[in-house]
Amino acid sequence: QSALTQPASVSGSPGQSITISCTGSGSDIGSYALVSWYQHHPGKAPKLIIFDVSQRPSGVSNRFSGSKSGNTASLTISGLQAEDEADYYCCSYAGTSTYVIFGGGTKVTVL
Amino acid sequence: QITLKESGPTLVKPTQTLTLTCTFSGFSLSTSGVGVGWIRQPPGKALEWLALIYWDDDERYSPSLKSRLTITEDTSKNQVVLTMTNMDPVDTATYFCARMYGYRYDYWGQGTLVTVSS
């Protein structure tokens, strides 16, 4: 099964809002409310920022929000800050055969 | 405080078997709902899920790599071991281990870079 589809890059100015899409299929995102999002600064450990489509772990800024419609999940970062510049990956449960599938990653640039 | 740390060789030769160890603390792999998985990232590429072992010893593998992977646990040592056979240069990557809870990877190790080269 192919990776979930994300835009390669998204950019925005400080204070703006950006949205990253993550498109899958009816076998993964479309069938399960089990989408998670990870922030990854190269050279560091990835960080969970959204789970179960729209839930934020304790300690994660409320500037991060998640949603899902059909086969597409989305991550919105509001009030963009310089520290948000990183790679972002979506991930979905994909059933008992494929199990877990990641997106191709999106590089967020703060202009 | 939950921590995970990957260890293993930094360089392996083509056709060799890679053995990576994830040593964790701050949680138990005997706790219901908890798992430890492996994810890798080739240089400049995306994350790729490899394998997962649950508290009840249930094992899950990436379909594309299943024939080459084995994941095991040593609960007494708080370790999870991943073996990957028949290594190839395309397997060069940073390998991460992470705790899974409820279908989310909530804690990650820093990763270990493995290079496959003769």
Q: Do A89 and B109 touch (CB under 8 A)?
A: no
Residues of B in contact with A100 (CB under 8 A): 37, 49, 52, 60, 62
Asked if residue B90 lies in contact with residue B12, where contact means CB atoms within 8 angstroms, the answer is no
Terminal Cα distance for chain A, rounded:
35
Residue count of chain B:
118
Task: Give the tokens for residue B49.
Answer: 């899920």
Neighbours of B93 (CB within 10 A): 21
In the predicted model, residues of chain B with pLDDT beneath 50 are none
Kindly report the nearest CA distance between residue A98 and chain B, in angstroms.
Answer: 6
Instruction: Give Cα separations from A56 to A41, A64, A89 (angstroms).
Output: 19, 8, 15
Q: What's the pLDDT tens digit per position in A13-66?
A: 999 999 999 999 999 999 999 999 999 999 999 999 999 999 999 999 999 999
Q: What's the pLDDT tens digit per position in B6-26?
A: 999 999 999 999 999 999 999
Contacts of A57 by beta carbon, 8 Å cutoff, 6+ apart? A48, A49, A51, B106
